[in-house]
Chain A
Amino acid sequence: MRFIMRRLGFYLVAFWLSITLNFLLPRLMPGDPVSRMLSRSQGQLDPSQIDSLRRLLGVDERPWWQQYPEYLWRVLTGDLGISISRFPTPVTDVIGTQLPWTLLLGFTSLILAVIIGNLLGIIAAWRRGSFLDSFVPPFLVFLGSFPYFWLAMGLLYVFGIALGWAPLSHAFSVGLEPSFSPVFLSDVAAHLVLPALSIVFVSVGGWMLAMRNTMIGTNSEDYILMAEAKGLHPSRIMFAYSARNAMLPAVTNIGMSIGFIVGGALLTEVVFAYPGVGYQLMAAVQGLDYPLMQGMFLTITGAVLLANFLIDIIYVRLDPRVRVS
């Protein structure tokens, strides 16, 4: 319990630091939201209206030390304000309509990558020197060194355009109404295949290598030898003795990855016109939309910290050493 309380205290400090950075960094960028909007409209807006537009959009021109306490208070009370680039839609609405799609895409690809990567890693370490061990990891690392949007575009071209097997864009067919009908769910799944695969292909190599390397270490432990000597079934030794003990680093990685899912897979989402938060985040940064940027960074920070905290708790359970130290 004391351990968890101590961790909790650490997370509170980390949270305060990160929301303060969220507040300061955007304000260090040159320009302000309205002049950004003006330069994007390229002469369509009338310069004489700039000032009132600034007031209309609620661009705060007070010095930062006056805005800061108010900002902290609003964060604590959950009021994220109104988006400037999506005025007058509240930030929570903007994030709320897009986050579920990002989570769906992110979790699907993470779960697939974790399961496939770890299984491959376990088997590769168990059968050292086999085909799986000597040829698959270099190939996956090669695949993983591609920028993932490049892979996304390649998949889109081959399976979407040339072969016509998969839909080209969006999260479900345009014109369908979201429901729990099998038609809609299978349509969502069909639209999910290519974007998720493009992320899985790139990330699976890392999972496999990490698992394989840790497991090689545990394989040489005495208790494995002991288990073998006792005549246990090899698959039981592989999963229950060796893999289980090699799991710890993977759990850490899963925790970190879960946190980052919330930020969205920007380029994958752009390539497949997937309605997630990634593009919105980029647009918010480019348009200096402070409220939206802060809202999104806050969500990401919160998710990263929460995921880490959960992993900490799981660690206590998985690894007795943590409890003692």
Chain B
Amino acid sequence: MISTRIRGRRLAGVLVAAAAATTLLLSGCTAGDAGDAGGDAASGPLLTIPREDMGTFSQNFNPFSPNAAPMTQQAIYESMIIYNPADGSTTPWLAESWEASDDGLSLTFHLRDGVKWSDGEPFSAKDVATTFGLQQKIVEGSFPYVSKVEAADDATVVFTFSEPFSPGLFEVGQQVIVPDHIWADQENPDKFENETPVGTGPYTEVSKFQAQSFELLPNPEYWQQDKQNLPGVRMLAFAGNDGANLAAINGDVDWAPQFMPDIQKTYVDRDPEHRHYWFPPTGAMINWQLNTTKPMFEDPQVRKALSLAVDREQVVKVGMSGYTEPADCSGLSGSYSTWKDESLLGSCDWIGHDPEKAGEMLDEAGFEAGADGKRTTPDGEPFAFKISVGSTSTDWLSVANIISQDLADIGVTATVDAPDWAAVTAAYEQGTFDTGIVWSDNAPTPYQYYRSLMSSETLKPVGEQTFSNYHRFSDPQADELLDRFSAASDETAQHEIVDQLQALYSEVAPVVPLFPGPEWGAYTDTRFTGWPTEDDPYATLATRSPTTVLVLTSLQPVD
């Protein structure tokens, strides 16, 4: 008996030791990472932001890495210019001005004077040249039109293009710049974790790095000291929207960029005086794409008829909780509001909800209804197909269900097919799907959107993997217009071409545009003020966009 008791005690001892060892391990692996905490408690609370899709953080501040820690490209590194989709404006940032040559083959940036890296070294044109060299080395095929980047002098960078490509201004201008004196010597810049980054941004000093949170404290050498008013930025890791939403509802975070269902009731109504949200429709256009290699979707009239059958008001209200607005026939999202041709939008005839006309158009195209009210294709097959959407996207899933019901009203059988996103995208990439709900390109100019939907350059045959133009459509007229756009350096000429592209898009209906993706964003001004709003859209409320630094340099702590 005695021996049992001793053994029992020994077991308990082992358990206690195991627990102690675990705790030891925990603190052992994290204590070393803690940076200089300083007296930040004295200077007030940090701006706290949740990250809803990272359960834990890794200390990787390499801006070339697709999985860098959040805020790497927003608070630590900066770009030469910043484009704001909310009002269509461009802000000179590390560059003060820029100009393109008349032939469109060179682009010159004049850099700002007096900018320093956070270690005190001066920022110069050499840093820009090194950055582009690295980007092209790490990810081959990036900036394919840039053949040479040269530092003409300390404050001037000249980009030489292999072909005129006017949309390149924003792509080149928004690349974040890294310091030459740190990165030039890196043997494997792609595998460099860059744990203590040196940047030009407002908040560069990493502190208290943990798997669940980290802090960025002010850059001591920042070039706009008057705009650097926060004691620091703190990121929190959450493995999903629910946890991040809870933190926002509870008031633990200042900024909430993630999707929140019924935001007015769950978030704003708890403190209506301080809490606000703003969802500008500046995300990518969400399209319902019809696989144009399938005979039943070849005819633009059929695509337009299906578009007319969709009740977009209902789609937006029910499917998207009213967080966005219906698309128009230019297919352009809210970030291109300055590009839209108002006269075209007035004469749209295939976007509004009109099931009767949709039925007539289908009759005309030979898709007539049989005795049971179900339509058949001209070949006599039933007009039935699938709408693919990933099962995890619950909002898009309800959009697909609404479309399916709308189509049933005009005798078209559309079944919603919702497997895992992986299976859905595999079918998109191979071109084997019928129809599906898909995002689209969202760049500073409409060029990329139209190129990915109508250009023969992006067109791949069925069975060959592609990553844009899933619906496999091209139009020679679009090719010509797109070429002219990329060669045009003059903005008036570009607008004229985009007007023609819109008209063409509206004529051929390559996809059925549904609604622009909203840019989620909510905040509380109990601790910080100066947020962008609908009345002052100097940026969006996104925390992963180039405009985020504009918010970080505008916020003021509340006294």
Contact = CB atoms under 8 A, between A and B. Distances in A.
A36 B193 CA distance: 23
Contacts of B18: 107
B22 A271 contact: no
A273 B139 contact: no
Contacts of A107: 18-19, 22
B25 A273 contact: no
A24 B211 CA distance: 30
B191 A82 contact: yes
B87 interface: no
A100 B29 contact: yes
Interface stretch (B177-185, B366-374, B407-415, B420-428): B420-428
B60 A273 contact: no
B27 A43 contact: no
B37 A161 contact: no
A168 interface: yes
Contact of B246 (A31, A43, A94, A168): A168
B441 interface: yes
Nearest to A36: B422
Contacts of B215: 175
Interface in A202-243: 236, 240
B58 A86 contact: yes
Nearest to A270: B239
Contact of A37 (B66, B213, B250): B66
A235 to B, nearest CB: 12
Contacts of A283: 55, 239
A304 B93 CA distance: 55
Interface stretch (A2-10, A12-20, A65-73, A176-184): A176-184
Given A88-B65, A104-B22, A168-B246, A52 B29 contact: no
Interface in B32-68: 34, 37, 48, 55-56, 58-60, 62, 65-67
Nearest to B465: A35
A132 interface: no
B269 interface: no
B56 A98 contact: yes
Dominant secondary structure of chain A at its interface with chain B: helix
A46 interface: yes
Contacts of A193: none
B306 to A, nearest CB: 23
A188 interface: yes
A169 B245 CA distance: 11
A30 interface: yes
Contacts of A188: 23, 26
B22 A56 contact: no
A169 B246 contact: yes
B284 interface: yes
A103 interface: yes
Given A47-B468, A97-B56, A168 B247 contact: yes
A322 interface: no
A178 B22 contact: no
B142 A49 contact: yes
Contacts of B138: 52, 56
B132 to A, nearest CB: 14
User: Is the interface on chain B under 10, 10 to 19, 20 to 34, or 35 or more residues?
Assistant: 35 or more
Interface string B452-472: 000000100000011110000
B234 A177 contact: no
A252 B70 CA distance: 44
A297 interface: no
A280 B422 contact: no
B141 interface: yes
Nearest to B247: A169
Contact of A244 (B4, B423, B439): B4
B284 A42 contact: yes
B385 interface: no
Contacts of B140: 49, 51-52, 55
Contacts of A280: 55-56
Contact of B190 (A56, A168, A171, A278): A56
B234 A43 contact: no
A37 B467 CA distance: 11
B208 A177 contact: yes
A275 B190 CA distance: 26
A47 B191 CA distance: 22
Interface in A26-55: 29-31, 35-40, 42-53, 55
B473 interface: no
A288 B422 contact: yes
Contacts of A118: none
B23 A174 contact: no
A257 interface: no
Interface in A152-190: 156, 161, 168-172, 174-175, 177-180, 184-185, 188
B466 A47 contact: yes
B212 interface: yes
B440 A178 contact: no
A33 to B, nearest CB: 10
A179 B56 CA distance: 20
B272 interface: no
A178 B26 CA distance: 8
A280 B465 CA distance: 28
A133 interface: no
A273 B467 contact: no
B144 interface: yes
B75 to A, nearest CB: 17
A108 interface: yes
A233 to B, nearest CB: 11
B62 A88 contact: yes
Contact of A177 (B26, B37, B190, B242): B37
Interface in B213-257: 213, 215, 234, 236-240, 242-243, 246-247, 250, 252
Contact of B212 (A52, A170, A286): A170
Contacts of B4: 240, 244
Sort A-B residue pairs by CB-CB distance and give the 5 closest, nearest first: A279-B55, A47-B467, A279-B239, A52-B140, A42-B439
13 contacts: A31-B425, A35-B426, A39-B421, A48-B142, A49-B140, A53-B139, A86-B67, A88-B193, A94-B58, A107-B18, A168-B252, A171-B212, A185-B23
